[in-house]
Amino acid sequence: MKILLLNPPGKRIYIRDYFCSKTTKSNYLFHPVDLVTLSGTCSAFAETDVLDCMAERLTPEQAHERIEKIGPDAIISLVGSVSWDEDREFLALEHERGRRVLCIGDVLHGEAPERLGEEPWMEAVLHVFSNRDVEHYFAGQFDEIEDMTVRDEAGAPKRLERVARNQRKGEFRIPRPRHELFPKQGYHFSFARSAPFATVLSDYGCPYPCTFCVIGTLGFQTRPVADVLEEIDALRAQGVREIFFMDQTFGVKRERALELCEAFAERGDLSWTAYTRPDTGDDEILGAMVRGGCHTVILGVESADDELLAEYKKGYRSSIITDTFRRAKKHGLRTVGTFIIGLPQETADSLRKTLELAVLLEMDFMSLNMAVPRFGTPFRKQALDLGLASREDLVMDQGGAEAFLPTSTLDRADMLALKKKMVRRFYLRPSYLWRRLTSIRSLYELRAQVREGLALLARNV
């Protein structure tokens, strides 16, 4: 059997990844971790190819030609709410050409049976990419499937859910991901110190209940340390030293994180970026990360408003955020603060306070995400109940090319204008630009920073 793992083409640069989809906020594009993980699983039982049309910037016509040359029996494709109409049209044509089409993505996350019933070209939906469901499905072992939406003998959709998403826990094991199947060019990562880089997942899901985030609905599982190190060493053998860890909170399992950092330090040649939380990044964890080669840490700030942090169940206050950024700076780490703006309670004043906090923290990069009611999240129910969104609204882009939700005091146009103003005010400060310039360590990094910076500003003028 021949399987093609597909990231479909699009009119814009779409990031379809980990049950989220968005347009890129600048020019970055990393390897879709769903397909990276599935590359190991599928290669263990079938001939497997990868076609990332986003990385290769293929048009739909070029992509169809490439698929015809590859000749897969089945396609496992990413889809996204941000690109749903384009994805549907492209994949329906592949179905007409005789391909079996399975899909995974945010637009299917909460309403898969309904979508499957509406789209005759789609054979089945994967809800987890860190298990063996796809192998069991193609083998006809439906009793072994943990969580998929499939068709019954009459073609009607049915959900096979034996392990509820929010109940997944413990460890998971996957065959080593086949990074070598992915394109060598076309990926850009804003925080990489060198090229090439790889995207690695050492745990799945998230144990925290942030109501606007889809990852917290997936449960939480970790990979054995030995399995992670096998993947890292395979990358090192391929000449890859720069890693982007897609774990949503590096260090949430403290002893495991310290063990990983010690193993990375022993290798002595790794350079990496990771997410963590302000209430996880203490001196022990941050120090171990630096010794293991970490140079950049991404921290969820979300808002300067403690009431908003409590409302959306972040589990920490702004004072903890301030302390963690100070510690990260002390350890020599570059910092990225992620923010979610445009929640129903958002006002021009709360946005001003958030920008003031971003400046106060002296972070190296600011990432603004627009609030969108992700499928399967408590926030989606809230947005529907408040009448801020409808079930027919499918195209959602947290990347900020557009504002999806109005707030209690701001319409969509005002929200988008204020977001763009925040980006310009943060990044165009002379003191910030000087600090960025003097921190660059290589020609590669200089080129990357200029490229990303110009793309970011172009999207926010």
Residues 316 and 250 in one domain: yes
Whether residue 308 is found in the same domain as residue 384: yes
Q: Which of 167, 199, 215 is the last residue of a domain?
A: 167
Q: Which domain holds residue 333?
A: 189-458
Residue 261 has pLDDT above 90, yes or no: yes
Query: Which parts of 312-377 fold into alpha helices (H)?
Result: 318-330, 348-360
Question: Could you tell me if 357 and 322 lie in one domain?
Answer: yes
Q: Does the CA dihedral 317-319-322-323 come out positive or negative? A: negative
Tell me, yes or no, whether 240 lies in a domain.
yes
**pTM (two decimals):** 0.93
pLDDT at 395 over 90: no
* pLDDT level of residue 456 (50, 70, 90 thresholds): confident
Which residue, chain included where needed, has tokens 């002390």?
Answer: 330
Q: Is the pLDDT of residue 29 over 70?
A: yes
| Residue bearing tokens 């298990």 | 131
Whether residues 161 and 129 fall in one domain: yes
Within this chain, do residues 60 and 197 fall inside the same structural domain, yes or no? no
In this structure, the answer to whether residues 23 and 140 fall within a common structural domain is yes
Shared domain check, 405 and 321: yes
Please classify residue 164 by burial: count the beta carbons closer than 10 Å to its beta carbon, then call 0-12 exposed, 13-18 middle and 19+ buried.
exposed
Interval 97-137: pLDDT, tens: 999 999 999 999 878 999 999 999 999 999 999 999 999 99
User: Residue 280 in 3-state DSSP?
Assistant: coil
pLDDT at 399 over 80: no
| Count of H-run helices and E-run strands, the chain | 16, 17
> What whole-number distance in Å separates Cα of residue 295 and Cα of residue 441?
12
The rounded distance, in Å, linking the Cα atoms of 279 and 185 is 36
One domain, residues 146 and 216? no
Report the pLDDT averaged over residues 254-271: 97
Mark whether 143 and 206 lie in a shared domain: no
The CATH number assigned to the domain holding 141 equals: 3.40.50.280
309-359: pLDDT as tens digits:
888 889 888 889 999 999 999 999 999 999 988 888 888 888 889 899 999
On whether both 410 and 313 belong to a single domain, the answer is: yes
237 and 90 fall within a common domain: no
Number of domains into which the chain is organized: 2
Task: Kindly state whether residue 184 falls inside one of the protein's structural domains.
Answer: no
Question: Which CATH number goes with the domain that contains 314?
Answer: 3.80.30.20
Residue 293, token pair as written in the block: 């080669």
In a domain, 337, yes or no: yes
* 198 lies in the same domain as 80: no
The answer to whether residue 177 sits within a structural domain is no
